[in-house]
């Protein structure tokens, strides 16, 4: 969010919600490094329980706050999952924002993200205090990786506990697009600049967010990071599908018995990991000149350095 500038022409005041989290912390750091017009950075991180405050309710509050506070720009972090993979497992290969796809949501996360994104895009052009108009943009990252990624950390520690091995549980043929967290943060900065300078080009629009990271099956991509960190993937193919589905449902049952336990394998993660899903970012390139700030080699190097640091701290 970009609050009103209080008449000070010497810089911009920016607000990052969730600024202490995985993506938020990278965005805060990149703003401090790469936003020359930054005058003040305000970081908010209430970390509400989604079971108590659904994401779409929090989004309504953010939009109300923008309108009441005269905030001119709102950049929303959405997800590729507002599109898919859907419950049927239909592939989406290197598609863009206009690629037809039968969207079907059955899980709370993608459904709430889709509802929140709709609210944000519908708010574009709404009047704000002081007489201006709100410019809203929604960014849809593919699967994010990088330093401080909770799932990558969990996989690394789990593999170390198993003697350096990770079992294959997902099909090796399902192409996925993954994006480095620093490039997602960079797209936020570029989109915010465009929303301020060329609102007609980006206002009320959504953009997929990807970079030049290799397209690969989910576990094979993880191995590009975890392998040099000392872990090995067991097996060329996963167990039979009926067995995986049984294990996925057992994971759900264990999660219900043990509150706070989130199994890595459940019916939704199995469906997502088994469905080919990759995107292109030509719309962001055309609309506000997006190009990845971090090339794949640098993104991998930074992630590996962090992973090896986890090992040395154990």
- State the catalytic residues: 109
Q: Measured between alpha carbons, how far is residue 44 from residues 20, 94, 120 in Å?
A: 8, 35, 19
* SS3 label, residue 232: strand
Residue 279: strand pairing partners: 95
Q: Give the N- to C-terminal CA distance of the chain in Å, as an integer.
A: 38
186 DSSP 8-state letter: H
User: How far, in Å, CA of 117 to CA of 56, rounded?
Assistant: 8
**CB of 74 closer than 8 Å to CB of 136:** yes
Q: Residue 216 and residue 187: Cα distance in Å, rounded? A: 22
Handedness of CA 99, 54, 203, 280 (dihedral sign): negative
């Amino acid at each position: 969010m970009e609050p009103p500038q209080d008449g000070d022409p010497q810089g911009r005041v920016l607000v990052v919600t969730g600024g202490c989290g995985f993506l938020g912390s990278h965005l805060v750091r990149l703003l401090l490094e790469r936003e020359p017009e930054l005058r003040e950075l305000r970081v908010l991180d209430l970390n509400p329980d989604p079971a108590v405050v659904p994401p779409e309710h929090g989004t309504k509050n953010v939009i109300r706050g923008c309108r009441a506070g005269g905030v001119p720009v709102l950049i929303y972090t959405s997800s590729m999952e507002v599109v898919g993979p859907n419950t049927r497992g239909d592939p989406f290969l290197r598609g863009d924002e206009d690629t037809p796809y039968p969207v079907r949501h059955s899980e709370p996360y993608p459904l709430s993200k889709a509802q929140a994104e709709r609210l944000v895009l519908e708010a574009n052009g709404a009047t704000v205090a002081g007489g201006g108009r709100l410019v809203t943009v929604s960014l849809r990252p593919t699967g994010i990786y990088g330093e401080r990624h909770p799932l990558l950390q969990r996989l690394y520690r789990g593999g170390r506990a198993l003697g350096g091995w990770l079992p294959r549980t997902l099909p090796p043929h399902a192409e996925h697009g993954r994006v480095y967290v620093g490039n997602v943060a960079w797209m936020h900065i570029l989109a915010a600049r465009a929303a301020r300078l060329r609102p007609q080009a980006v206002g009320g629009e959504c953009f997929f967010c990807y970079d030049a990271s290799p397209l690969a099956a989910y576990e094979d991509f993880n191995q590009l990071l975890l392998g040099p960190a000392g872990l090995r993937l067991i097996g060329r193919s996963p167990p039979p599908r009926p067995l995986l589905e049984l294990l996925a449902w057992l994971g759900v049952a264990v999660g219900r018995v043990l509150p706070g336990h989130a199994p890595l394998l459940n019916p939704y993660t199995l469906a997502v990991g088994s469905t080919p899903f990759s995107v292109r970012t030509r719309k962001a390139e055309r609309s506000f000149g997006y190009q990845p700030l971090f090339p794949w080699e640098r993104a991998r190097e930074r992630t590996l350095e962090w992973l090896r640091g986890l090992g040395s701290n154990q």
